[in-house]
Chain A
């Protein structure tokens, strides 16, 4: 069981839910930018939710299935096609031997994910299959995929995964479980350690203005452009741990949202953290898309995450039931 990369796409890497436990060594977690998409696809396919998936920017890869396989795509909508057949997001499909998956058109979002039943056999490093592009390790040879790369699956797809040899599953993920993607999302933020040091004007700007995603954004962080904001008094900062979603204030008054490949530590004022549940909305933004922030209390952020995790758990049970009864 394997796939062959016929065209590599611009940035196609293996990612999972991140490499944890090694931050003390300066080793950053990496992992899927849109973690919810990666988890949903794995759950849908009956995999462990932290199974390694392919993350693709646009133009995405052209992928040939060497043998029959069950797969699902989600996240961005790049008008996926399996040979001539149109492929919908968030559904399980059966790929015949030698069929080719393509993503011809960027319709919405920035990152599409491909998961296969059984999971990809990738290089695990410190317990994770995510690609660390800086250290050149993990995933597939520690790099983005190139033409001709062949990637095996970990285990054979279950032959009876879809009933009666159907080409696609009858079930799909309910819209209420999907991230509410938008080209101009308002994402919820919990104030960070230095938020209260903002000038009154700075706080107003943070709360009420919108910001544009700069083209020099990448997997390490999304730079924002907008009205500059400042702390009341410049504060000399000591480097401390940062997190996926931490919003840092740069010396020029602009902000950066740290993303999946962020460094483990940082020395800029921490204005807040985008709540985990809303990080996928940020991850799917592209250059010149806009974003606004909405402050919520830490307790409320926990409630949102708790509900989100409960929903995913229910989905897992639902999929298990659907697979057993099929």
Chain B
């Protein structure tokens, strides 16, 4: 995997994306997280933030500071790319990644699991089977996006994977646990959404006023379990 394929391109004048793969891959995700962490812990002057995604990392920086402090480089992009390329050679072995395991209780009661019966019927499974298949796995947080605190987790067992709803809901209740394809996620607060809702948790996903405002972070692992009624 080392240096197999790395593409670096600008995302505006104050950001650049480093792409490790053009598909979802565990190895690429680990490298993306590792690069973001490395730069966050050893920031260059002007770094604003390093954001990992499924298989890429995007670096946001203050253009004027980079331009001023690294004037030996022809462009700010060239200066930041230099730091990135250096960091890439120093990345720790991805296999040593330390992931937190977070356990999340879920209510699968009918009034919380609005699409559970639909998934069960379309897959010719009982609702209990869907719940068992869903809770049997440990999921990885590949990235956060869509909404503050919304974690894209995977991979959901193919036996219960279903495409997005044809008609997105205008209001999905806060805490809804949902699936779309091989992905699962938890709606941090009430919002529109097109994923199938198979349960709901009372755990606070989004805590805006704490220093780390989201329960889940990229690279975490998550285990759902059926909450006692």
A residues neighboring B (CB under 8 Å)? 20-28, 125-126, 132, 134-137, 190, 192-193, 235-246, 263-265, 270, 273, 275-276, 298-299, 301-302, 305-306, 309
Contacts and interface: CB of A to CB of B under 8 A. Distances in A.
Contact of B10 (A20, A21, A190, A238): A190
Nearest to B189: A135
A243 B21 CA distance: 20
10 contacts: A22-B213, A23-B49, A26-B150, A135-B189, A193-B7, A238-B54, A240-B53, A299-B75, A302-B77, A305-B63
Given A134-B147, A190-B12, A273-B12, A298 B22 contact: no
Given A21-B48, A238-B23, A265 B53 contact: yes
B139 interface: no
Nearest to B212: A25
Contact of A241 (B51, B150, B152): B51
The 10 A-B pairs with the shortest beta carbon distances in the complex, nearest first, are A265-B145, A241-B58, A26-B144, A273-B12, A27-B148, A25-B214, A240-B53, A23-B51, A240-B56, A238-B54
A132 to B, nearest CB: 7
Contacts of A125: 208-209
B13 A246 contact: no
A124 to B, nearest CB: 11
A264 B145 CA distance: 6
Contacts of B149: 25-27
A298 B10 contact: yes
Contact of A276 (B14, B49, B217): B14
Contact of B52 (A24, A132, A275, A298): A24
B56 A135 contact: no
Contacts of A235: 22
A266 to B, nearest CB: 8
Interface in B14-30: 14-15, 17, 19, 21-24
B76 interface: yes
Contact of B143 (A27, A246, A265): A265
A301 B191 CA distance: 37
A243 B152 CA distance: 19
B13 A24 contact: no
B176 to A, nearest CB: 16
Contacts of B50: 24
A240 B58 contact: yes
B55 interface: yes
Please indicate which of the listed interface residues A237, A238, A301 has the most CB atoms of chain B within 10 Å of its own CB.
Answer: A238
B83 interface: no
Contacts of A237: 22
Please indicate which of the listed interface residues A25, A136, A243 has the most CB atoms of chain B within 10 Å of its own CB.
Answer: A25
B147 A273 contact: no
Contacts of B22: 235-238
Given A25-B148, A25-B213, A193 B13 contact: no
B148 A241 contact: no
A245 B148 CA distance: 20
A24 B144 contact: yes
A309 B63 CA distance: 9
Interface string B108-144: 0000000000000000000000000000000000011
